[in-house]
Amino acid sequence: MKNSGRADYGARKAMLRPDISIALVGEAGQGIQSIETILVSLARAKGYHVYATKEYMSRVRGGINSTSVRISTSPVDALADRVDIAIPLLPAGLPYLKKRLTKNTALIVDGSLFPQKTRAMIDIPLAAIASEVGGAIYANTIAAGVVCAIIGVDESAAESFVADRFAQKGEAVVARNKLAIKRGFDAGREIDLSFRLARPSKKKSGNITLAGADAVALGALAGGCDYVCGYPMSPSTGVLERLAAYSQRHDIIAEQVEDEIGVINMALGAWYAGARALITTSGGGFALMCEGLSLAGMIESPLVAHLAQRPGPATGLPTRTEQGDLNLALYAGHGDFPRIILAPGTLEEGFTLTQRAFDLADRYQVPVLILTDQYFVDTYYDTKRFKPAAMGDRRSIVETDASYKRYSVTRNGVSPRGIPGFGKGIVCVDSDEHDESGYIVEDAEARVLMADKRMRKARAINKAAIKPTYIGGKDAENLVVTWGSTFTIAREALAALGRRDTALLHFPWLHPFPIGAAKTLRGAKRVIVAENNMTGQFADLITRETSLPISSRILKYDGRPFSVEELADAVARELDTHEAAQRRPPKRGA
C-alpha cells in the first residue's frame, strides 16, 4: 500500500481532537450514503455524538453528491466547513471539496483514479481491493472500514454491524461485506495521521439519532395526526413517506393527491370531519395552495402545513436549501385572516413545534405553517430523547346539539367546533362570508361582525406565542438574529467567535410576531440578521413589526446552508465594519 500522505502526516505527533469532520463525495449510486450509515452507527454505538448532512443533485444516477459527517465527544448539530478526512470516490468530486481542504486534511483516494496528484493524497486502491473482495460494489464498505479504523471503532463491532445490515441479502453477501470491512480496517490502520479522535466520555447517552424529517413526522404522530396528504415534492416528501410508514402501525390515513390544490382542500375536508390532518409540500406546491389557505382562514378550519423550503423562484434548485418562502408563508392567500408560522431550529424544536402545531391549529381554528428546509429535513444528529407533551384534549371538538351554530360569536373569536355526525346538530361551513350558522350573508354589519370575530383570534394567539431564544451575556450590544435551520449553525459560530458583546436571538415562532421580542431587539445597539435567502425576508419582517431598520444582513442564497466558519467570519466582518464606522466621526444627518 502506497501512502503518499505518510510523509506529511506521519512526521508530526498525532493531536487529540474532540471532534472530527469527514466529507464523502460520490455520484448517485456509488453508495456514499452507505458509508455514512456505517460510520455514524458505529461511532454512535461507541458513545460518540454524531452529525451528518447531505447535499445532492436533482438526478437519480450520476452527478455529484456529498455527505458531511461529524463525530464528536460532545453534542454536535451544525455544518462545519473544516474537513479532517475527505474521501472523493471519483476525481470529479475533488473540486467540490476544494474550498474545504486544509493542509491538515487527510485526503483519501483510490490513486488509480487520480493520475495527477495536485496535493498530498493517501492512496488506497479501493477498486483493486473491491475486485479482490468480490466486485466494485464493495468499494464503499471498504472505505467505511478505512474510516472506522481511523476513528478507532472496534473491528468486530464493524463486522457484526455489516453482517446485520446485509443479513437479508444472503450469506455470501454478508461474508463479502465482512471481508470488505476487514480489508478497509487493514488499510485504515496503516494510515498515520496528524490527529486522533479523543475517546468518548461514556458509553452511550440515551440520545436518539434522527433527521429533521423524522422529527417532524414524529411530532405529527405525537400531535395526533391521523390524516396526512401530499403530492411528492423535494424536500417535503420525506415527511409524507415517514407518515405513510406509520400508517401501517397507527390510525392514519395517508393519501397522495393528484395535485397540491387537491391536497389542501382534502385536508380541510378531513379536519371538517374530525381528523387532524397534516399536509406537506415545498414552495412551488405551497404557492398552489394559497387559495386553499384563504379558505382555511374563512371557514376557520384548523390546518397544519409542513413547508420544506428549497431555492426558488419556480423549480429553482429542487434538491437544495433556502429560507426563501417566508414572505409567501406570511402573506399567502387573499384577504386578511390569522395564521401561525413556526420554524424549528433544532430537531427537538422540529418535534415539539410540530406536536404543538396540531394543538394550536385545533384550539384557535387557524392554519399553522411549519417552515423547514432541505438542510433541516436531511440533516441528522443525536439529541436528547424527545418528551412528547401530554395528549389531554387531543381533539378540540364538541358534541353538537340541535341548536348548534358553527360560527357563534365569542369573546376571543373562537367558536366551539362541531363536526358532522357527532351530535344532533348540523355543521355548516361556507367560503362566502356567512352568519353564525354558516349561511351566506352579504350585508355590511354581518361582514364586519365575522371579520372581527376571526381577527380577534389573533390576539388570543399572540399570548400563546413562543418567545425567541436568547443565548449570550445579558445586554450584549450586538444581536445576531436567526430563524429556523440557521440557528444551530449560528450558535456554534458565535461560540467559536467567543465575543462577550455579541448574543444570539433565535426565533422558532415567527408569526404573529412574539410580543416582547421588539424590546429585546431595540435593546441591542446593532442587530445582524443571518438568513438563508436573497433579500432578508425576516429582517424585513422585523422592520415591519417593530419599525426597527435592519441594515446588517448576512444572506446566503446559493442553494447551500451556511457553515459554522462562514457564518462566524461573516459576523466578525459585520462587527468590524461597524466598529470601524463608530470610530469615525458620525456623518452629518446620518
What does the alpha-carbon distance between residue 228 and residue 240 come to, in Å, rounded to a whole number? Answer: 7
Binding flag, residue 423, ligand TPP (CB under 6 A): no
Q: How far is the CB of 197 from ligand TPP (least distance, A)?
A: 40
Beta bridge partners of 108: 122
| Sole binder of another protein in the list 19, 155, 214, 325 (CB under 8 A) | 214
Query: What one-character DSSP code corresponds to residue 443?
Result: -
Binding flag, residue 239, ligand TPP (CB under 6 A): no
Binding flag, residue 286, ligand TPP (CB under 6 A): no
Q: What Å distances lie between residue 306 and 216, 283, 482, 552, CA to CA?
A: 8, 10, 19, 29
User: Residue 559: which residues within 8 A CB-CB, separation 6 or more?
Assistant: 311, 316, 317, 320, 321, 322
Q: What is the number of other CB atoms lying within 10 angstroms of the CB of residue 271?
A: 25
Binding flag, residue 169, another protein (CB under 8 A): no
Binding flag, residue 547, its own copies (CB under 8 A): yes
Binding flag, residue 513, ligand TPP (CB under 6 A): no
Q: What Å distances lie between residue 338 and 24, 220, 306, CA to CA?
A: 45, 22, 17
> Rounded to 5 degrees, what are φ and ψ at 24?
-115, 135
| Sole binder of ligand TPP in the list 29, 232, 473, 523 (CB under 6 A) | 232
For the chain, the distance separating the N- and C-terminal CA atoms, rounded to the nearest angstrom, is 67
Cβ-based nearer residue to its own copies, 317 or 495 = 317
Cβ-based nearer residue to another protein, 278 or 567 = 278
Compute how many residues bind ligand TPP; rule: CB under 6 A. 8
User: Residue 335: which residues within 8 A CB-CB, separation 6 or more?
Assistant: 294, 297, 298
What does the alpha-carbon distance between residue 178 and residue 155 come to, in Å, rounded to a whole number? Answer: 10
Beta bridge partners of 62: 28
Cell of 217: 413526522
Binding flag, residue 229, ligand TPP (CB under 6 A): no
Chain residue at closest Cβ approach to ligand TPP: 233
Binding flag, residue 444, its own copies (CB under 8 A): yes
| Sole binder of its own copies in the list 333, 418, 512, 514 (CB under 8 A) | 333
Give the length of the chain.
590
> With CB cut-offs between 5 and 8 Å by kind, which of another protein, ligand TPP, its own copies, none does residue 273 bind?
another protein
Binding flag, residue 59, ligand TPP (CB under 6 A): no
| Sole binder of its own copies in the list 160, 431, 462, 582 (CB under 8 A) | 431
Binding flag, residue 293, another protein (CB under 8 A): no
| Sole binder of ligand TPP in the list 285, 324, 468, 536 (CB under 6 A) | 285
What does the alpha-carbon distance between residue 22 and residue 32 come to, in Å, rounded to a whole number? Answer: 12
| Sole binder of its own copies in the list 190, 436, 501, 540 (CB under 8 A) | 540
Q: What is the number of other CB atoms lying within 10 angstroms of the CB of residue 331?
A: 11
Closest CA to 128 of 146, 110, 115, 148: 110
Binding flag, residue 439, its own copies (CB under 8 A): no
**Three-class secondary structure assignment of 42-73:** HHHHCCCEEEEEEECCCCCCEEEEEEEEEEEC
Binding flag, residue 58, its own copies (CB under 8 A): yes
> Rounded to 5 degrees, what are φ and ψ at 66?
-145, 160
Contact 308, 329 (CB under 8 A): no
Between β-strands 253-256 and 303-309, what pairing exists: parallel, antiparallel or unpaired? unpaired
Cβ-based nearer residue to ligand TPP, 88 or 230 = 230
| Sole binder of its own copies in the list 287, 409, 464, 496 (CB under 8 A) | 287
Query: What one-character DSSP code corresponds to residue 133?
Result: H
Binding mask 405-434 for another protein (x = CB under 8 A): x-------------xxxxxxxxxxxxxx--
What does the alpha-carbon distance between residue 526 and residue 529 come to, in Å, rounded to a whole number? Answer: 10
Q: Which amino acid is at 80?
A: A
Contact 296, 31 (CB under 8 A): no
User: What is the CA angle 531-534-537, rounded to 5?
Assistant: 60
Binding flag, residue 440, ligand TPP (CB under 6 A): no
Subset of 242-281 contacting another protein (CB under 8 A):
244-263, 265-270, 272-275, 277
Cell of 309: 423550503
Q: How far is the CB of 442 from its own copies (least distance, A)?
A: 5
Binding mask 430-469 for another protein (x = CB under 8 A): xxx--x-xxxxx-x--x-----------------------
Cβ-based nearer residue to another protein, 141 or 355 = 355
Of 42-50, 374-382, 413-421, 530-538, the window that binds its own copies (rule: CB under 8 A) is 530-538
Cell of 570: 461573516
Residue whose cell numbers read 436549501: 321
What does the alpha-carbon distance between residue 373 and residue 532 come to, in Å, rounded to a whole number? Answer: 10
| Sole binder of its own copies in the list 432, 475, 576, 579 (CB under 8 A) | 432
Contact 453, 342 (CB under 8 A): no
Binding flag, residue 451, its own copies (CB under 8 A): yes
Cβ-based nearer residue to another protein, 226 or 325 = 226
Q: How far is the CB of 254 from another protein (least distance, A)?
A: 7
| Sole binder of its own copies in the list 322, 349, 373, 566 (CB under 8 A) | 322
Cβ-based nearer residue to ligand TPP, 9 or 286 = 286
Q: How far is the CB of 28 from another protein (least distance, A)?
A: 9
Cβ-based nearer residue to its own copies, 157 or 534 = 534
Cell of 126: 479501493
| Sole binder of its own copies in the list 22, 244, 275, 295 (CB under 8 A) | 295
294, 413, 547, 570 alpha-carbon torsion, rounded to 10°: -60
Of 86-94, 151-159, 483-491, 501-509, the window that binds another protein (rule: CB under 8 A) is 86-94
Cβ-based nearer residue to its own copies, 294 or 346 = 294
Enumerate binding residues for ligand TPP (CB under 6 A).
231-233, 260, 284-285, 288, 315
Where along the sequence are the contacts to its own copies (CB under 8 A)?
57-58, 63, 261, 283-288, 290-291, 293-295, 297-299, 309, 311-320, 322, 324-325, 327-328, 330-337, 430-433, 440, 442, 444-445, 447-448, 451, 455, 533-535, 537, 540-541, 543-544, 547-549, 557-560
